[in-house]
Chains A and B, each alone.
Chain A
Amino acid sequence: MTATDVPISAEGNPIGFGRMHRKEDARFLRGAGKYVDDVTLPGMLHGAILRSPIAHARITSIDTSAAEAHPKVKAVITGQTLEGLGLAWMPTLSQDTQSVLCTDKVRFQGQEVAFVIAEDKYSARDALQLIDVDYEPLDAVVDAKHALDDDAPIVRDDLEGRTDNHIYDWEAGDATKCDEVFRNAEVVVTQEMLYPRVHPAPMETCGSVASMDPISGKLTIWTTTQAPHAHRTLYALVAGLPEHKIQVISPDIGGGFGNKVGIYPGYVCSIVGSIVTGKPVKWMEDRSENLMSTSFARDYHMTGSIAATRDGKIQGLKVDVLADHGAFNGVAQPTKFPAGFFHIFTGSYDYDAAHCNVTAVYTNKAPGGVAYACSFRVTEAVYLVERMVDCLADELGMDPAELRMNNLLKPEQFPYTTPTGWEYDSGDYPRALDEAMRIAGYDELRTEQAEKRRAYEAGESSMLMGIGISFFTEGVGAGPRKHMDILGLGMADGCELRIHPTGKAVVRLSVQSQGQGHETTFAQIISHELGIPPEDIDVVHGDTDNTPFGLGTYGSRSTPVSGAAAAVVARRVKDKSRIIAAAALECSPDDLEWEHGRWFVKGDPDNGKTIQDIAMAAHSSLELPEGVEGHLDATAVYDPPELTYPFGAYICVTDVDAGTGEVKVRRFIAVDDCGPRINPMIVEGQVHGGVADGIGMALMELIAFERDGTNLGGSFMDYLLPTSMECPSYELGETVTPSPHHPLGVKGVGESATVGSPAAVVNSVLDAIGVRAADMPLTPAVVWRAMQGSPLRMDLALE
């Protein structure tokens, strides 16, 4: 259905897909959103966490007596308290364990050591100063490249029999075949690169309010989670609380980007705090705690090699990765894939062979490892391949657009199985790249660039100009139960739809919005299927007592999985409405035809029943056929048959001052293909935000460390987010290639731009300065040093 076919409701909204203002905005605009820190309960106490100032140290003693004597302090919890409850350690989402409050030694700066509960938050913070901890410092492993050295200190001596910092080796592809392709290749280019440690840094930090009702034994926890149902099950498994006595409420969430997938020690402490004190306990981390202790992203040291013929036919790609997971392997991803979906690193091109090997190590840094809108490490994968293609173009002296165009998968190759086993569902890649080049005015840009370079070389100007391209393919919508689970929980999503007698509806989702606008988009999906105006459809989410089970919102999975569940559930209601309409019209269901929210008798369009009439009839005394129950509702669980594969072509134009190394992003062109767009306004907003993320990562964002493990990115003074001054106006385009296996054809878009944009920015800057490689973030210092031929390593402080 094209936008112009969509009927318009009395309130001016499309009855189905199309641009529509968001339903959730009414409260956000008035300051009436309800975020976790806005929850206040009678008698509520406040918690604060004492954190380690040192990256690696044995704790020899903790004296909490002075803190306990503080007049406003109600309790102090340490690792010892938790040990008594069996809660000093908790499982991570990737079958590792993580310390809740330290019992033996601290393993990263900012690790949780003690939890103070006081009458107000200022007193809780005051009391942290009164806790006396004796630390016996140990050497720290900070550089992942030395984590496997023989003399490296062992981070995880808590694990039985552990004598090194090795977590896993994982490979995909055919190493033998790949070696053969490389041996016979005319051209091989090898390049080391670091995708440095960055942080999702949503504007709202993480926190929770836990309230244990001592009489009913019911625990209610309001918490910043992208996956409320998964959290509930984990609390049941970890704490041994009966699952039906746990209600997880994820209210309005101030951005997630992967930061709010896992369970953090603070959440557990607030729960224990509520049990211990018998009062509700709120814990909200501050910004430094957020940046220093919660899930970081990337930290991938990659060495890529690309093989090709001299005339530019790409033949092979291989990569070795050293993955820094920090002190605990807290990565959230499907169990079978310890490196996430990194093996989609072959990207959008055709090869004879490909192979990757990922080795993961522990270091004395904060745990986590998959976050920041990365589609389970597709971000690292896309960065690798799109940088390698540019390195190859540089080696061959070819235009990077031409090299890409010659090697992109062709539409007739879909469905396409990659050398590492992914089955891409659909795509028309050359069309997307063409469209991006058309919007950019690619040839004119190259002409302008040549003139800028001439003037620079003639000493007339210090300004250079770069044009960078990135083409990405993502695999999203995790995932098929046959391949994917997290901690044994299959990645399907439930959905429930109820049509009230007057034809108004309520749809209950298992996923949760952190700003993606689900209250609008999912109403539009139901509206599209049933012809009910979106304003008549209420979307309920984020409360485990009131929604069906499902694994939550991350990895761009809401529309691919939960959106499909919503479509399926609406179709079930529609099927039933046909039977009821037939009963009311005294005809056979087969005699009915559907259009815009009503069933009518074929050949007699005036003789019909609207979905609203049918809803009333379904609840009335109308006699229904044998075996048909009254009312109009349905449930569904959607197990995606495969992932969906959104793709896009991005072009970034930068101006670089060669004198200072300063980069200005002049233009950013983003052509996205995420299948049909349910609400184009929301899709565009998702792309805008993702491009800004990419600009941030490419130019500014970095969590670096001192050699002793001191975190150098622990505040917004040090960890720089892009502001309105660094971001350009975005120029968007689209192509539409529906997914053949999704009921709505949609593919998911939440992370596309975060995944695709960093390589475009980096390629652009390097194109400007004529240097093959330099690592993010391309700060003025990095750019300037790269131009002098002495690149900087930014992830560690200088020795």
Chain B
Amino acid sequence: MRFHRSLHGFVTPLVLIASVALITFLGVLGGDQVKTSLTEMLIRMVVVVGMWVFVGNSGVISFGHVGFMCVGAYAAAWATVDPNWKSIMLTGLPDWLQNGQYPIPFAIMGGAVLAAAVAVLLGGAIMRLSGIAASIATFAFLMIVNSVYSNWDAVTGGTSSIIGIPTVVTPWVAFTLAAGAIFVAYAFKVSRYGLMLRASREDEVAARASAINIVRVRLAAFVLSAAIVGIGGGLWAHFLGVLTADTFYLSLSFITLAMLVVGGLGSLTGAVLGVVVVTIVVEVLRALEGGIALGKITLSLPPGSQEIGLGVVLALIMIFRPSGLTRGREVLWPRRRSPMTEVSTKTATALGPGE
């Protein structure tokens, strides 16, 4: 029995999912504007939780995950856009994609599979690199994805957008997938692979002496992570209804990484919390940019304040709390009761009062 405690049950993901459900529940009571921001936040949560599977457990920063989002989004869109439009605009697609139209859940899964496949190829090449070199390689990957998707006109529409993607992603749909992502990410963290990967994050040399094949465990996390982020991309496509490659570039990379760092790379709780906190900061700043009427005067921040504000928040976190708001801890971290204290408590109860 006492061993199971080390896996600390599934309390953490359940608490996280319940909190996100509460936020969603409150959000859907709001107006359209609120619902839009809420859905956006939940989709980003899928993406950031997906990134965390790799970045959080391995300690290797990736600038390239938004590239997987792009891959997943386009793949899902290819499968669900009206064939008539595709036969005019996306003439480079294979027949079965160009002339067919597939159910949205399959389309999104297809996007995840394609993102995972790309991750196998990319990861096979870069997981051998040391941390910083691997990070730079992921950035190179992002640039490659962006230029391929911006220029391959016959398949992606190039710089003109893909339009007419069915918009079916409601707040509750996005919530369901965010909850799924949280659950899978936590299951990964406490799995054998998660443990080995976290050990390699702590000390690569000692991990190798502990019979851990670092390349293999990193690659496994990278692929799972890409698949989840790919799902986030598919959701994004079916939320906005329009796709442009530039959506998935530097500013989205920056904001998703900021979410990870603000919450704390070390824990899943950090990833989830970071998404919520950064979204609130961004929304408040956006509202202020738009102007707030105070009696007769309208106060408004100059345009661009959003990015500056987010940058300031990030800098402050790095200065005052470098390991993020959660400091690498999960919500409901088990009380540090050792097995010994448990034994003695049991003994005490067995002995009964008065002993």
Q: Do A and B bind each other?
A: no
Question: B residues near A, CB below 8 A?
Answer: none
